[in-house]
Amino acid sequence: MRRIRRYAVPEWMIEQATVRRLAGDWRGACAAANIDVAVDLADVANTHGDAVAAAVEDDLSHFAPDLLRWHLPRLDRGRTTIVPDQVMVLGRPGGHPEAPRLYLWTPHWMVHGPQRLSLRAGPVPGGGAYLETDWAYCAFWRNVVQDWSTSRHLWDVRHAGELRERCGGGEDRAPFLRGDGTPRSAEELPAEDPGRADPAAFAEWVTLLHERGEVEAAFAAAGIELDAAPVEVDPSYSVNGVDPLDVLARMPLDLARVETEVRRLSAALGTGRFWIPYRQYAALSFESGGSGLRVRIVEFEMGSEPGDAVLPESSWRRLPDLDLLRDGYPPERLHPLVRDALTPGRAGDPVRPPDPERSEPVRVRCRGEWHEVSFRDGRLDIPHSAEEQQRETAMRAFGGAVAGCFAVGHTWTSGTGRLPKALRDRRRELFSRVQHGDLPGVLRLLDSGVDPRVRDGRRRTLLHMLHLLDTGADPDVHGRLRRELAHRLRHLDHDGLLARLLAAGLDIDATDAENRTPLFAAICGHGSVALVRALLDAGARIDVTGEIHGEDVSLHRLINLLQRDELDFIADRIEHEHPELLEEE
């Protein structure tokens, strides 16, 4: 779980955001953490009064945007991608219903898109559990509002030290860990209910019951009433209905603390009825009252939610960092504020181990022998002569099968086929860093020799993803940060990286699995005008089409569909140079 989260929140981002925050520059801290700010304190003061504006500014002065990014919910299957279309309400300054909310909005419906975030102050879109969007396009956990106003330890530096207690720990250690952050052995874990006097041991006991599949026993030990009766749903969704025990057994629940978190949230929101969207046909209901917490699964239909608010993931999910440390993950690789909270007994100032900069050679079975494939001078080097490689290329051109080293080389540069695990991991790291806007990390990998001609599983090249490395909408703040970082890193902009990729032989008009060129991808991904002009200056063609929901769309039509009026200069060129494309629209 989140084993490569450091790609999503790289060390340089944490350092720069911290420096800015400590200097009192909260806007600069947000810029360093790839968060666009849409907060106008003067407007808040004019609309809601100076006291509310002062409360918003106070929260912002203690806001750690890098810590927030670290804790944001990620998609399943080990991806680092932030769950799209989420609103996290961070603060409720003023304390009355009409007061503005300080909230964060995650990327819009872009599983493979940029991971920039938006910080705002004002009414929450939709005003309730859902964002203003078409539910037909929603999915599990998307388009919902989560209230983090009682979870300040996830974003407010004044409360960051509360993380250990909020994840079930005690004064001297977190669950499953010793005070220094090393995992406890099986012999050190409780073999019977230790009671609540030792919160860390109690959390371990309840979690162990749950992990062994003893769901009902785990709920009982935590003092939570569970309705385990199967739930009938529309047969078109599930013929056999929904088994609550099966659902709950697979969820990473933190049963030892969920009731406390629900009560805390109930006091803030004035309701004891919460729910979790499990599927489009079922939801989990949490009801808190005088007799305790009751959990059940109910059939779900839009407009008949079993609660007044969504129960935030931070209130019911086991802290992923605990699972990492439990598996032996080095505490030094955690966010410093997280590490300090979870490892109170760790001596000294820990030094973060550097990420490996060079890949070890990979052994590949080729022609009955084991060969070593490695990166060398910016190329994936295979131990075969130029003549042998030329013969294999010709064979593939005529439809012949390639294997061994040649298959690995072809997969690396085409995106089709299967790579050895080590190369697959390196490719995933590179593209993950690109997606999260980690330009320094991308450059470091390329400097270490990684072949930039790589394509991902969707056949995208690095040129297709340059828009993910754009610096954002605040040129003054981002320009300042770029200049500061440039003292340590060269080519710290997409122009320098573009020139580097073209010099390495990447095709400016290469197409991906959706027949999109880098220019098409930049426009579709809302890349900056500067990037679009740089691609045009590099020779990118404008008479191209790409797929949008399975339909071929020209650049001219794409610009109109996205209402990118700032790119009308391209539309004008197409009208003048390629009028035949307009007839096909």
What tokens does 6 get? 């450091």
pLDDT the model gives residue 349: 60
Q: Is residue 365 located within the same domain as residue 444?
A: yes
Label residue 95 by pLDDT band (50, 70, 90). confident
Burial of 17 (0-12, 13-18, 19+ CB in 10 A): buried
The 10 Å Cβ neighbour count of residue 161 is: 13
Of 478 and 199, which is predicted with more confidence? Answer: 199
What tokens does 549 get? 């929901």
pLDDT the model gives residue 93: 87
Label residue 494 by pLDDT band (50, 70, 90). low
- How large is the average pLDDT for residues 7-17? 89
The 10 Å Cβ neighbour count of residue 189 is: 16
Q: Is residue 311 located within the same domain as residue 380?
A: no
Judge whether 348 lies within some domain.
no
Q: Is residue 187 located within the same domain as residue 68?
A: no
Percent of the chain having pLDDT more than 90? 63
pLDDT the model gives residue 140: 46
DSSP character string of 509-520: T---TT---HHH
The answer on pLDDT for 482 being more than 90 is: no
The 10 Å Cβ neighbour count of residue 359 is: 19
Q: Is residue 181 located within the same domain as residue 214?
A: yes
pLDDT the model gives residue 346: 86
pLDDT the model gives residue 1: 42
Label residue 476 by pLDDT band (50, 70, 90). very low
Local structure of 104: helix, strand or coil: strand
Torsion region of 276: left, alpha or beta (phi above 0 gives left; psi -120 to 50 gives alpha) = beta
The answer on pLDDT for 2 being more than 50 is: no
Q: What is the pLDDT of residues 525-580, one digit of tens each?
A: 888 899 999 999 999 999 999 999 889 999 999 999 999 999 999 999 999 999 88
Rounded to the nearest angstrom, the gap between the alpha carbon of residue 268 and the centroid of all alpha carbons in its chain is 28
Domain count of the fold of the chain: 4
* Rounded-to-integer distance, Cα 345 and Cα 582, Å: 68
> Which of 54, 88, 85 is CA-nearest to residue 69?
88
Judge whether 80 lies within some domain.
yes
pLDDT the model gives residue 5: 58
- How large is the average pLDDT for residues 240-260? 94
Of 377 and 486, which is predicted with more confidence? Answer: 377
Q: Is residue 473 located within the same domain as residue 451?
A: no
- How large is the average pLDDT for residues 131-155? 68
pLDDT the model gives residue 126: 62
Q: Is residue 478 located within the same domain as residue 426?
A: no
Contact present, 286 and 311 (Cβ < 8 Å): yes
Q: Is residue 385 located within the same domain as residue 432?
A: yes
Label residue 311 by pLDDT band (50, 70, 90). very high
Contact present, 352 and 12 (Cβ < 8 Å): no
The answer on pLDDT for 38 being more than 90 is: yes
Q: Is residue 451 located within the same domain as residue 466?
A: no
Judge whether 349 lies within some domain.
no
The answer on pLDDT for 129 being more than 60 is: no
DSSP character string of 454-476: ---TT---SGGGGGGG---S-HH
pLDDT the model gives residue 472: 47
pLDDT the model gives residue 107: 80
Contact present, 340 and 332 (Cβ < 8 Å): no
- How large is the average pLDDT for residues 362-376? 89
* Rounded-to-integer distance, Cα 157 and Cα 337, Å: 8
The last residue of a domain, from among 104, 133, 158:
158
Judge whether 492 lies within some domain.
yes
Find the domain containing 2 and state its range: 1-158
Residues near 479 by Cβ (< 8 Å), separated by ≥ 6? 471
Q: What is the pLDDT of residues 206-237, one digit of tens each?
A: 999 999 999 999 999 999 999 999 998 888 77
Q: Which of 113-117, 183-187, 229-233 has the lowest mean pLDDT?
A: 113-117
Contact present, 455 and 511 (Cβ < 8 Å): no
Average pLDDT, the chain: 87
Q: Which of 169-173, 259-263, 356-360, 423-427 has the lowest mean pLDDT?
A: 356-360
Q: Is residue 361 located within the same domain as residue 331?
A: no
What amino acid is encoded at 447 in this protein? Answer: D
Helix, strand, coil content of the chain in percent (nearest 5): 40, 15, 45
The answer on pLDDT for 480 being more than 50 is: no
pLDDT the model gives residue 216: 97
Local structure of 562: helix, strand or coil: coil
- How large is the average pLDDT for residues 5-13? 79
Judge whether 163 lies within some domain.
no
pLDDT the model gives residue 470: 73
pLDDT the model gives residue 485: 42
Judge whether 347 lies within some domain.
no
pLDDT the model gives residue 139: 41
- How large is the average pLDDT for residues 346-350? 68
Judge whether 372 lies within some domain.
yes
pLDDT the model gives residue 86: 87
The answer on pLDDT for 159 being more than 70 is: yes
The 3-class SS string of 154-197 reads: HCECCCHHHHHHHCCCCCCCCCCECCCCCECCHHHCCCCCCCCC
- How large is the average pLDDT for residues 131-160? 73
Can you give the CATH number for the domain in which 496 is found?
1.25.40
pLDDT the model gives residue 386: 82
The answer on pLDDT for 354 being more than 60 is: no
Label residue 489 by pLDDT band (50, 70, 90). very low
Q: Specify which residues 298 forms β-bridges with.
A: 283
Q: Is residue 177 located within the same domain as residue 149?
A: no
Of 479 and 416, which is predicted with more confidence? Answer: 416
Q: Is residue 268 located within the same domain as residue 316?
A: yes
Percent of the chain having pLDDT more than 70? 87
The answer on pLDDT for 291 being more than 50 is: yes
Judge whether 436 lies within some domain.
yes
* Rounded-to-integer distance, Cα 120 and Cα 124, Å: 9
pLDDT the model gives residue 274: 95
Q: Which of 93-97, 100-104, 165-169, 443-447 has the lowest mean pLDDT?
A: 93-97
Q: Is residue 399 located within the same domain as residue 466?
A: no
